[in-house]
Amino acid sequence: MDKLSNMAVFAKVVEMGSFTAVANFLDTTVNNVSRAVSGLEESLDTKLLHRSTRRLSVTDAGRRFYERCTTILADLENAEAEARNALHEPRGTLRVHCVPGLARHLATRAVLAYRAQFPDVSVELLLSQRMPNLLEDQLDLSIVIARTLPDSAYVCQQIGVSHCVLAASPEYLERHPAPITPQDLAEHACVRLGTVDYSPDAWQLRSDQDSATFNPVGPHLSVNDMEAMAVALREGAGIGLLAGFAAYDDLRSGALVRVLPQYHTDARNVYAVYTSRQFVDAKIKSFVDLLKTQVGGALQHHASVLINPAPAPVP
């Protein structure tokens, strides 16, 4: 291997944290990956990685060298991309991950709009609750909902914000008088939502005047998917938290009714996450731009209706 190839292998080892993961990603052997790193260390006369049977860690020199490597490799990738016009013309295959609820209500429509605008780009949309490893899974971009994202080598752009609201079916509320305060929820069947970013054990509610924490107790139904939650609530299972994008159509149609309408959860950010830093492929850049317009615009509209409604006109 030449030095540039060895640098690329070393950078992947730092990012993925495992010789085996890099070998699988590059379709090579662990020995080849190890030789690439050792070759760099010999040529530099410097130890870049601490190796043990349990884990790898980067030395101080290795961290500084990694930062240089990523700059050099990005410049090279940028130059190659300019040569093939990938920076300016979206083409190829775009592999996108998205959390399921957002995909079903908003992101799939964004993908269809993107395909209509860029018919030469193939799109693969993969749904999963958990944030994937973009490098290992060979994904271009992930759309996730989180309060904050952990520090990583990834790049993220905020698309919009999402809140959850309390809802129930009209039939359920006919049988059980609607709660007046968050404490009244203790008298109701509460359907819990348990996802990566939503704990089923405590509902953190907020209004313009105060905040409240409610802990559902007793026998309950718990789901880890917004669409399943919406089905359960429409069928009269009780009161539950639904993201605005999942509740909006049912609230408009009357299939669901707001409960404690002055309360909602704190905002969760919707992010587009990708790996490139200096170089962003045109298909990724153009898709992120469309997400900001289409998904971000829809989230903003939902918030304006459900969270920050315009005041009624003064007679």
3-84 and 164-258: identical CATH topology: no
* CATH class held by domain 92-158+270-306: alpha beta
Rounded Cα–Cα distance for residues 149 and 159 (Å): 13
What is residue 279's predicted lDDT score, i.e. its pLDDT?
64
- 210: Cβ contacts below 8 Å, ≥ 6 apart: none
pLDDT tens for each residue of 215-254: 877 778 888 888 999 999 999 999 999 999 999 999 999 9
Q: Is 113 helix (H, G, I), strand (E, B) or coil?
A: helix
- Cα gap 139→275, rounded to integer Å: 9
pLDDT at residue 198, as a whole number: 62
Q: What is the second-level CATH architecture of the domain 3-84?
A: Orthogonal Bundle (1.10)
**Which tens digits make up the pLDDT trace of 97-145?**
999 999 999 999 999 999 999 999 999 999 998 888 888 888 999 999 9
- Residue 143 sits at φ, ψ, to 5 deg, of -110, 115
CATH assignment of 164-258?
3.40.190.10
Contact 227, 104 (CB under 8 A): yes
CA angle 32, 37, 42 (to 5 degrees): 120
What residue spans define the domains of the chain? 3-84, 92-158+270-306, 164-258
List, for residues 15-72, the tens digit of each pLDDT value: 898 899 999 999 899 999 999 999 989 999 999 998 876 778 899 999 999 998 988 9
Residue 173, pLDDT > 80, answer yes
CA 271/CA 278 separation, integer angstroms:
19
Query: What is the rounded CA–CA span in Å between residue 303 and residue 161?
Result: 8
Do 242 and 167 touch, CB atoms closer than 8 A?
yes
**What is the Cα–Cα distance from 87 to 117, expressed in whole angstroms?**
17
pLDDT digit string, tens, across residues 284-306: 999 999 999 999 999 999 999 99
pLDDT attached to residue 314: 42
Single-letter code of the amino acid located at 77: E
Q: Are 99 and 223 in contact (CB under 8 A)?
A: no
pLDDT of residue 196: 62
Q: Partners of 146 in the beta sheet?
A: 269
Contact indicator for 138, 95 with CB cutoff of 8 Å: yes
51: β partners: 56
pLDDT band at 278 (very low <50, low <70, confident <90, very high): low
The pTM score is 0.71
d(CA 163, CA 206): 10
